[in-house]
C-alpha cells in the first residue's frame, strides 16, 4: 500500500496521555485476570543452555500458567530425548476438547482462527502472494517453474526488507517491527517446507494460538503467549489480519443489508448475492480497524491478547506485540465463525448464517472499477440452539473437529475454495 494510505497511531509516550493510560491500565488489571500460555521452547531446555535467562527474567504478576495440549505433548516428546525440564513454574494443561465441551461456541471460533493462520488470504497483507503459492501446494497442485521463480523473488524481497532502518512513516524502525520482519522471513519459508514434507508438528503453534485466543475472548482474560519462536510471531500477525479483514467484510455487508432489507431474505432463500466494495473504502476501514486493535495508546476498558517474545540473541523479553479488545467489539469477536459450522452451536444471527467468498487478485473488470467482488450464500445448515455435549460426541458429530483429529484440517485454505467440505 502507498504511504499516504496509513495514519500514524498516537505516540505511546505522549505525556498528556500518561495519566489516563495509567488509570485504565490499573482498571483493566483489576477487571480482567491475566493468564500466560507457555511455548515448549520456554520451559524445556537442553543442558547446553544453562546460561539462558528466559526463566530468570520472566516476571509476571500472576501464577496462572497454562500449556495448550499440543505444547504439552511437545514437552513430553522433548523430555523423552533427555532434555531438562525447568520446574520453577507449575502449569495446567488446557485442551480444546474440554473447552468445546464447556463452551460449545468455542468450536467455530477456534477453527476460524486456525484457518486464519494456516493459509490466510489477506488482501492488504505482504504475505498474500507467498500464501497464494503455498495454497497451490495445499491443494496438491504442481508448482510451475514460473511460480518457483516468483517464490524466489518474493523471498528475496522479504529478506531485503529485514533490518530496514525506516518504517512506512519514514521513522526509525522499532525492535518490535524488526522482530516481525524477521518472523516473516523465517516462518514463510519454514511453512512451505513443513507443508511439502508433511511435518506432523507443523500446526502445533497455530493450534496453541487459536486455543489461547478463543479462551481469551470467551472468558474475557488478558492472555499472553510466552515464546522464543519466530513462527509463533508470524502466526500471531496472520490471525490478527484475518480477524481485521473479516470485521471489514462484515461492516460492508451489514451496511448493504441495512440499505436493502430484502438482501437477507434473498440469501436465506438460497440465492447467491454478489456485492462490490470500492477498494479505497475498504482500505480506509482497514486502516481504522488496524489502528484501533494494534494501538498501544488505549485509554479505555479492555483486555489484551499478545505475545511475550524472548529474543535469544539479546536475552530479553519484548512485550509490545498484542491486540486490544473492548466490550463494544467483544460481542462481534465472540461470534466470528467465518465459514465454519458446528451442529452444537447457534448460527442464525451475528452474520453467521451465510458463507462469504471474495475474489482477489481482481478480474480485469474489477481492476478497472477498483472494486473487491464478494459473493454471499446461505450456509448449508442453520442451528438455532447452542447445546453442550461431551467432547466424545462433539468430535463424532462435528465435521471440523473430526477433521482436525484426522489431520485433514491441513488441506484447508482461504484461497477461493474450502477443500474440507
- Listed by start position, the domains of the chain span 3-411
Q: How many CB atoms lie within 10 A of CB 128?
A: 16
Cell of 384: 438455532
Cell of 406: 484426522
CB-neighbour burial class of residue 163 (10 A; exposed 0-12, middle 13-18, buried 19+):
exposed
pLDDT at res. 24: 67
111, 117, 121, 123: CA torsion to nearest 10: 120
Cis-peptide, bond into residue 265, ω within 30° of zero:
no
pLDDT at res. 301: 67
What is the spatial distance between Cα 373 and Cα 266, in angstroms, rounded to a whole number?
A: 18
pLDDT at res. 50: 57
What is the spatial distance between Cα 130 and Cα 227, in angstroms, rounded to a whole number?
A: 24
Cell of 408: 485433514
Question: Which of 104, 90, 293, 303 has the alpha carbon at shortest distance from 217?
Answer: 303
Query: How far is the CA of 95 from the CAs of 67, 73, 77, 110, in angstroms?
Result: 9, 11, 17, 12
* Positions in the chain short of pLDDT 70: 1-21, 24, 46-51, 82-89, 165-171, 295-301, 417-421
pLDDT at res. 420: 41
Cα 385 off chain centre by: 27
What is the spatial distance between Cα 280 and Cα 285, in angstroms, rounded to a whole number?
A: 9
Q: What are the tens digits of pLDDT across the range 122-177? A: 999 999 999 999 999 998 888 888 888 999 999 998 888 777 765 555 567 788 88
pLDDT at res. 161: 74
pLDDT at res. 31: 77
Cell of 279: 477498494
Entry pTM: 0.90
Question: Which of 308, 311, 302 has the alpha carbon at shortest distance from 321?
Answer: 308
Q: What are the tens digits of pLDDT across the range 60-84? A: 878 889 999 999 988 888 877 766 6
Q: Which residues pair with 306 in a beta bridge?
A: 224, 322
Share of the chain above pLDDT 70, in %: 86
Amino acid at each position: 500500500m502507498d504511504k499516504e494510505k496509513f495514519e500514524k497511531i498516537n505516540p505511546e509516550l505522549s505525556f498528556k496521555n500518561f495519566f489516563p493510560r495509567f488509570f485504565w491500565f490499573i482498571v483493566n488489571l483489576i477487571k480482567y485476570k491475566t493468564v500466560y500460555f507457555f511455548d515448549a521452547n520456554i520451559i524445556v531446555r537442553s543442558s547446553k543452555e544453562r546460561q539462558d535467562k528466559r526463566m530468570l527474567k520472566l516476571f509476571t504478576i500472576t501464577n496462572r500458567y497454562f500449556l495448550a495440549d499440543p505444547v504439552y505433548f511437545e514437552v513430553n516428546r522433548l523430555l523423552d530425548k533427555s532434555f531438562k525440564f525447568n520446574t520453577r513454574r507449575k502449569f495446567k494443561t488446557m485442551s480444546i476438547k474440554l473447552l468445546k465441551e464447556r463452551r460449545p461456541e468455542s468450536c467455530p471460533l477456534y477453527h476460524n482462527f486456525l484457518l486464519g493462520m494456516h493459509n490466510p488470504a489477506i488482501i492488504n497483507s505482504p504475505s498474500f502472494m507467498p500464501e497464494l503459492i503455498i495454497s497451490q501446494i495445499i491443494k496438491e497442485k504442481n508448482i510451475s517453474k514460473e511460480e518457483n521463480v516468483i517464490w524466489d523473488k518474493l523471498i528475496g524481497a522479504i529478506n531485503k526488507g529485514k533490518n530496514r532502518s525506516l518504517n512506512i512513516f519514514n521513522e526509525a524502525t522499532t525492535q518490535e517491527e524488526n522482530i516481525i520482519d524477521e518472523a516473516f522471513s523465517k516462518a514463510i519459508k519454514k511453512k512451505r517446507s513443513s507443508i511439502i514434507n508433511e511435518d506432523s508438528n507443523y500446526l502445533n503453534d497455530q493450534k496453541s494460538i487459536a486455543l489461547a485466543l478463543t479462551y481469551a475472548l470467551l472468558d474475557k482474560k488478558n492472555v499472553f503467549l510466552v515464546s522464543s519462536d519466530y513462527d509463533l510471531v508470524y502466526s500471531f500477525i496472520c490471525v490478527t489480519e484475518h480477524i481485521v479483514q473479516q470485521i471489514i467484510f462484515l461492516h460492508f455487508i451489514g451496511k448493504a443489508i441495512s440499505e436493502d432489507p430484502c438482501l437477507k431474505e434473498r440469501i436465506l432463500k438460497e440465492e447467491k448475492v454478489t456485492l462490490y466494495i470500492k477498494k479505497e473504502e475498504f482500505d480506509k476501514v482497514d486502516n481504522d480497524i488496524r489502528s484501533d486493535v494494534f494501538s498501544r495508546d488505549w485509554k479505555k476498558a479492555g483486555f489484551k491478547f499478545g505475545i511475550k517474545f524472548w529474543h535469544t540473541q539479546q536475552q530479553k523479553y519484548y512485550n509490545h506485540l498484542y491486540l486490544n479488545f473492548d466490550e463494544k467489539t467483544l460481542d462481534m469477536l465472540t461470534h466470528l465463525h467465518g465459514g465454519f459450522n458446528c451442529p452444537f452451536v447457534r448460527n442464525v444471527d451475528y452474520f453467521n448464517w451465510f458463507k462469504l467468498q471474495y475474489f482477489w487478485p481482481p478480474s480485469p473488470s474489477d481492476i478497472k472499477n477498483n472494486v473487491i467482488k464478494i459473493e454471499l450464500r446461505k450456509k448449508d445448515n442453520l442451528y438455532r440452539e447452542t447445546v453442550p455435549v461431551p467432547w466424545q460426541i462433539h468430535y463424532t458429530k462435528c465435521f471440523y473437529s473430526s477433521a482436525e483429529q484426522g489431520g485433514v484440517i491441513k488441506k484447508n485454505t482461504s484461497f477461493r475454495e474450502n477443500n474440507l467440505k
